[in-house]
């Protein structure tokens, strides 16, 4: 330290010569314009030129080979794999995939009942449509109602059976309530479109309004819309009990449909489970902290496939002998815990990024623990972690293919099964390529959307 | 706490007009009922909640294990690890330690563990190298190269690993020619639809001699490099003697090999009947799992490396360029050493994921831990509880070891902050 100071105060210190800038040289011609840019970027050295040429050659031959295999030499119409070979031995045999397409989408769901799957998907989407409009208040309540009630509708449509009998009375009541709620949302929308300017949609909060609200007029509105909900549910019940849907056992579910059920369920359950585990891990109460930490760390350090095996082999041992399981519910439990543990780490990252001032401000306002967490901290933490959460969702979607290893007929196992069909023996490549493309499109668009969201959040902050 | 310290601060500066707030808020609230007073106190309520949760947890555990005991009783099964001493009676297609069906389940466990470790070690090493290269290519000035690298990463990352593993196995490795028509390299290496055959070395003396020779070679090379580095640091020039030393070193190594070769004999695979004998063999399932997992891991690592490189300040690139470093020099001497700090933590996760992902090889029948122990052995013995505990225990130990070691290394490379 001392030396540096003495250096600057040398005796022979002379001031620098006055700096005179020489006139700027014009830019080199060869780095400008189209040709210049190409030369600068692609051919600026021998190594780079070589690399460019090799890359172009590889791209050309790879592209040519792929186009030849997948389009030009491919066979789209044939009855068996033999016919494909006879027509064109070097091309893809898409005919097999086309004839199995229904199986890839619906698994072994009976063909004449497949409209129920389509209807279920359409209802699920229609339920969520109001979320697209920014003018609708309480969109969170609609999302919550979807999470809470749509599974009953889905189970009713996909499983079928006589209404309120095979699936139980409680399930029947919930299905009616769900249909009633969906009708209520749309009635409200229509009413608002006709009448007043603001669109008021009934949320699940209506359940609590009569008990919390002191103003009579509001209470009347809330109670009346609950009555309307009840009435609509009764109409739905009358309608639904007027016919029977044939029972489709869970073993016949499969294909993309099953993949989406598992992925959708685990994605929706991952956040609540993750929030509970993350809050537990950050808790000051030792027991809760250590329990959550143990669950998170153990689940995160073992592969998903071992968790799935555990669910399939150990759940029947650990449960009373009279409880009956199907493979799907065991898998859903396993995937839920697995996804929750990973989500907990994401959410914990978000919680740690919340400045201490937010907690203190909440305490100052007199908020308790739950109010602080749910009204102040978690909304910010979740928002901040949206990109990471999306990444988790993508890997969850990819991981659902693992259920094929324990014998659920998801799209992966359906695709592998085509090779066992006597007409299409040994056809592995085409189905695998098809589902690879499908997953690529889904995951890539999700990741691009999450990048987009990330940029928007950055702008917002 | 906050309130009391604030109150103390206030006391020093202004006359204390506020009544001091006692720490125990329940006294201030003055709840008439002692139970409410008890529950309004943070610490006592915490104790109650913890006791309740612990009781619930213990009850849940008791419930699960009593069910398990009942069910095991009903099926007249017992709990215990004595089955590990029982002869397994089934074959395993490939193992790096000697194994046959007359060996015990403990041996089966070891075979599975070692196969898993070998597969994940190969994937981690090659995947990291490939991923680093792709990550650097991703940052290339040449848009063609960087876009090809980007396309590779996006395609590989967005297709599930299981699909890739099965693709490589069924589409690539299973469609290789049969043993009689296998591809061969100099009639020593053979590749066919059963796997990859390589020659091995037989020794008539103890392996310890080879280990000793390798140790001597490694230590002397390390000494030469260390000396060259030190004198370069002191004088600023690479000593000319280093080339002479390296030449001498390689002469010594060559003569050592020549000396030892009188006890060595090559064991080249030869086709006998329908299959190859002699030599060593890597099954096609290993090849497929290795290629698929390496490619998948390299894409993840490429993204890690790219993010790490981009986290370095642009001034570092420019400074390296200014003092006349070539691109390779600036990467090796300036950029990579700094990027390592940002890369290590996500790289740890990536390596852990590689170890866990190796379990997917079960889908193509590669005999790793999940396949030989969790599938075959559970089917044979029915000891689901014990076997699953052992497998999970292994994975938990492995991930703790890897993260411990890399945390140590991470502490070593991070900036030393006083």
- Last residue within a domain, chosen from A195, A225, A247: A247
Task: List chain B residues with CB under 8 Å of A305.
Answer: 359-360, 362, 370
ipTM surpassing 0.90: no
**Both A234 and A308 in a single domain?**
no
Report the half-sphere exposure of B232 (CA within 13 A, side-chain side): 11
The least confident of A67-81, B11-25, B34-48 is: B11-25
Task: Give residue A217's pLDDT.
Answer: 64
pLDDT of residue A201: 46
Can you tell me whether residue B267 is helix, strand or coil? strand
Nearest to A285 among B2, B50, B142 (CB): B50
A300 and A406 together in one domain: yes
Mean pLDDT of the residues in chain B = 82
Q: Does one domain contain both A323 and A225?
A: no
Same domain, A414 and A348: yes
Please indicate whether, in this complex, the C-beta atoms of B143 and A41 are within 8 angstroms of each other. Answer: yes
Residue A104 lies in a domain: no
Judge if A407 and A315 occupy the same domain.
yes
> Of A187, A220, A247, which one is at a domain's C-terminal end?
A247
pLDDT band at A83 (very low <50, low <70, confident <90, very high): confident
Residue A205 CB coordination number (10 Å)? 13
- If asked whether residues A284 and A226 sit together in one domain, one would say no
Partners of residue A306 in chain B, C-beta under 8 Å? 359, 370, 374, 388, 391-392, 395
Place of tokens 């090799």: A54
- The domain tally of chain A equals 2
pLDDT band at A226 (very low <50, low <70, confident <90, very high): confident
- Closest Cβ opposite residue B67 in set A318, A405, A443: A318
Q: Does A439 touch chain B (CB under 8 A)?
A: yes
Q: Which of B375, B385, B398 sits opposite A317 (nearest CB)?
A: B385
Residue B75 has pLDDT above 70, yes or no: yes
A306 in helix, strand or coil? helix
Per-residue pLDDT averaged across B3-24, rounded? 50
B148 in reach of chain A (CB within 8 A) = yes
Cβ of B163 within 8 Å of Cβ of A432? The answer is yes
Chain B, 81 to 110: residues with Cβ < 8 Å from chain A are none
- Would you give the DSSP letter of residue B195? E
Q: What percent of chain B has pLDDT over 90?
A: 23
Which member of B64, B363, B392 has the closest CB to residue A306? B392
- Please check whether residue A229 lies inside any domain of the structure: yes
Please check whether residue A84 lies inside any domain of the structure.
no
Q: Last residue of a domain, which of A227, A247, A267?
A: A247
pLDDT at B334: 86
Scanning every residue of chain A, which has its alpha carbon at the shortest distance from the alpha carbon of B143? A41
If pLDDT is split at 50, 70 and 90, which confidence band does B28 have? very low
Is the pLDDT higher at A211 or at A69?
A69
Q: Among B39, B145, B158, which would you mutate to test the A interface (most chain A Cβ atoms within 10 Å of its Cβ)?
A: B158
The reply to whether A202 and A236 lie within a common domain is yes
Q: What is the pLDDT of residues B289-308, one digit of tens each?
A: 999 999 999 999 999 999 88
Higher pLDDT pick, A207 / A12: A12
Both A238 and A116 in one domain: the answer is yes
- Closest CB from A304, A317, A360 relative to B71: A317
Contact present, A440 and B155 (Cβ < 8 Å): yes
Domain annotation covers residue A127: yes
Alpha helices (H) in A319-355, listed in sequence order: 327-353
Q: What is the pLDDT of residue A10?
A: 57
Q: Rounded distance, CA B236 to CA A452, Å?
A: 50
Mean pLDDT value across residues A114-122: 90
Q: Provide φ and ψ at B282, rounded to 5°.
A: -115, 125
Is A28 domain-assigned? Answer: no
Nearest to A306 among B2, B163, B395 (CB): B395
For chain B, say whether A405 makes contact (Cβ under 8 Å): yes
Is residue A291 located within the same domain as residue A380? yes
Chain segment B97-141, per-residue pLDDT in tens: 888 888 888 888 999 999 999 999 999 999 999 999 999 899 888
Task: Provide mean pLDDT across the span A149-158.
Answer: 88
| A–B interface: beta-carbon pairs under 8 A | 152
Q: Are residues A337 and A206 in the same domain?
A: no
What DSSP designation does A410 have? Answer: B
CATH classification at residue A332: 1.10.3720.10
Identify whether residues A306 and A434 lie together within a single domain. yes
Residue A82 lies in a domain: no
Q: Report yes or no: A205 at the B interface, CB cutoff 8 Å.
A: no
Our CA-based measurement puts residue A200 at a distance from the nearest CA of chain B, in whole angstroms, of: 40
Q: Which has the minimum average pLDDT: A237-251, A365-379, B379-393?
A: A237-251
* Residues A244/A172, Cβ–Cβ less than 8 Å: no
Domain range spanning residue A178?
Answer: 110-247
Q: How far is the CA of B90 from the CAs of A69, B100, B107, B111, B184, in angstroms?
A: 42, 8, 12, 13, 32
The SS3 of residue B89 is: coil
Per the rule left: phi > 0, alpha: psi between -120 and 50, beta: everything else, A370 is alpha
Interacting residues of A11 by C-beta distance below 8 A, sequence separation 6+: none
SS3 state at A421: coil
Q: Is A59 on the interface with B (CB under 8 A)?
A: yes
- Tokens 């390496």, residue located: B294
Domain assignment present for residue A289? The answer is yes
Please, which residues 285-324 of chain A have a Cβ atom closer than 8 Å to chain B? Answer: 285-288, 291, 298, 300-306, 309-310, 313-314, 316-321
pLDDT of B274 reads 66
Q: At what angle are helices A304-318 and B42-74 packed, to 10 degrees? A: 70
- B158 neighbourhood in chain A, CB within 8 Å: 394, 398, 439-440, 443-444, 447
Q: Is residue A92 one of the residues assigned to a domain?
A: no
Whether residues A156 and A227 share a domain: the answer is yes
Please say whether the dihedral angle defined by the alpha carbons of residues A40, A41, A47 and A49, taken in this order, is positive or negative.
negative
């Amino acid at each position: 330290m001392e030396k540096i100071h003495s250096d600057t105060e040398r005796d022979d210190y002379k001031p620098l010569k006055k700096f005179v800038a020489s006139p700027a040289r014009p830019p080199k011609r060869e780095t400008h314009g189209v040709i210049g840019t190409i030369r600068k970027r692609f051919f600026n050295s021998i190594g780079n030129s070589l690399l460019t040429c090799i890359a172009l050659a590889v791209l050309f031959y790879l592209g040519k080979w792929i186009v030849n295999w997948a389009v030009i030499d491919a066979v789209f119409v044939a009855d068996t794999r033999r016919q494909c070979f006879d027509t064109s031995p070097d091309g893809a045999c898409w005919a097999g995939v086309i004839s199995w397409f229904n199986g890839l989408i619906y698994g072994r769901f009976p063909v004449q009942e497949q409209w129920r799957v389509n209807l279920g998907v359409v209802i699920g989407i229609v339920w969520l449509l109001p979320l697209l409009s920014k003018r609708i208040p309480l969109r969170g309540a609609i999302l919550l109602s979807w999470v809470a009630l749509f599974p009953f509708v889905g189970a009713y449509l996909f499983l079928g059976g006589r209404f309120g009998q095979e699936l139980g009375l409680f399930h029947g009541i919930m299905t009616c309530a769900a249909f009633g709620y969906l009708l209520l949302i749309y009635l409200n929308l229509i009413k608002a479109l006709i009448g007043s300017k603001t669109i008021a949609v009934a949320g699940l909060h209506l359940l609590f309004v009569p008990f919390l609200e002191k103003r009579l007029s509001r209470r009347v509105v809330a109670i009346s819309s609950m009555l309307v909900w009840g009435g609509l549910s009764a109409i739905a019940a009358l309608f639904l009990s007027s016919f029977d849907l044939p029972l489709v056992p869970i073993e016949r579910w499969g294909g993309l449909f099953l993949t989406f059920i598992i992925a959708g369920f685990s994605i929706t359950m991952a956040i609540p489970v993750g929030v509970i585990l993350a809050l537990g891990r950050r808790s000051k109460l030792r027991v809760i902290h250590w329990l959550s930490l143990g669950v998170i760390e153990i689940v995160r350090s073992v592969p998903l496939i071992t968790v799935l095996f555990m669910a399939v082999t150990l759940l029947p041992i650990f449960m009373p002998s009279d409880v009956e399981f199907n493979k799907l519910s065991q898998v859903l439990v396993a995937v839920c815990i697995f996804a929750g543990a990973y989500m907990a780490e994401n959410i914990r990252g978000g919680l740690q990024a919340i400045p201490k001032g937010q907690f203190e401000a909440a305490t100052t306002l007199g908020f308790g623990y739950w109010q602080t967490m749910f009204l102040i901290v978690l909304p910010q933490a979740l928002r901040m972690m949206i990109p990471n959460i999306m990444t988790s969702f993508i890997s969850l979607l990819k991981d659902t293919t693992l259920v094929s290893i324990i014998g659920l007929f998801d799209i992966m196992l359906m695709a592998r099964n085509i090779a066992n069909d006597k007409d299409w023996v040994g056809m592995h490549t085409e189905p695998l390529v098809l589902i690879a493309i499908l997953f690529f499109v889904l995951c890539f668009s999700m990741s691009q959307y999450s990048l987009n969201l990330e940029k928007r959040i950055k702008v917002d902050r | 706490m906050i309130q009391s310290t604030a109150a103390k601060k206030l006391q020093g500066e202004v006359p204390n007009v506020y009544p001091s707030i006692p720490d125990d808020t329940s006294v201030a609230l003055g709840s008439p009922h002692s139970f409410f007073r008890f529950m309004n106190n943070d610490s006592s309520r915490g104790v109650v909640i913890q006791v309740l949760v612990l009781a619930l947890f213990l009850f849940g555990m008791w419930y699960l294990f009593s069910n398990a005991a009942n069910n095991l009783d009903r099926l007249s099964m017992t709990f215990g690890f004595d089955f590990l001493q029982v002869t397994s009676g089934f074959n395993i297609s490939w193992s790096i330690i000697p194994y046959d069906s007359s060996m015990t389940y403990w041996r089966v466990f070891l075979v599975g563990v070692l196969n898993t470790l070998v597969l994940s070690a190969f994937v981690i090493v090659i995947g990291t190298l490939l991923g680093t290269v792709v990550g650097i290519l991703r940052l290339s000035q040449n848009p063609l190269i960087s876009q090809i690298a980007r396309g590779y990463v996006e395609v590989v990352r967005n297709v599930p690993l299981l699909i890739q593993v099965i693709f490589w196995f069924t589409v690539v490795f299973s469609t290789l020619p049969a043993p009689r028509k296998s591809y061969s390299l100099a009639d020593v290496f053979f590749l066919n639809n059963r796997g990859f055959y390589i020659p091995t070395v037989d020794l008539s003396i103890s392996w310890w001699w080879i280990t000793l020779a390798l140790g001597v070679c490694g230590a002397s090379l390390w000494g030469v490099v260390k000396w060259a580095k030190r004198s370069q640091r002191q004088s600023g020039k690479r000593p000319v003697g280093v080339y002479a030393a390296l030449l001498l070193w390689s002469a010594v190594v060559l003569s050592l090999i020549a000396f030892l070769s009188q006890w060595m004999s090559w064991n080249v695979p030869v086709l006998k009947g329908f299959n190859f004998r002699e030599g060593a063999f890597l099954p096609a399932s290993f090849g497929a799992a290795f290629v698929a997992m390496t490619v998948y891991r390299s894409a993840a690592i490429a993204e890690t490396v790219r993010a790490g490189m981009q986290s370095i300040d642009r001034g570092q690139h420019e400074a390296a360029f200014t003092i006349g470093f070539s691109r390779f020099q600036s990467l090796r001497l300036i950029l990579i050493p700094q990027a390592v700090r940002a890369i290590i933590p996500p790289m740890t996760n990536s390596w852990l994921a590689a170890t866990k992902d190796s379990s997917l090889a079960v889908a193509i029948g590669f005999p790793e831990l999940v396949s030989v122990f969790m599938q075959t052995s559970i089917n044979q013995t029915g000891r689901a509880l014990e076997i699953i505990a052992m497998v999970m225990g292994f994975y938990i130990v492995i991930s703790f070891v890897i993260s411990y070691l890399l945390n140590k290394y991470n502490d070593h490379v991070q900036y030393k902050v006083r």
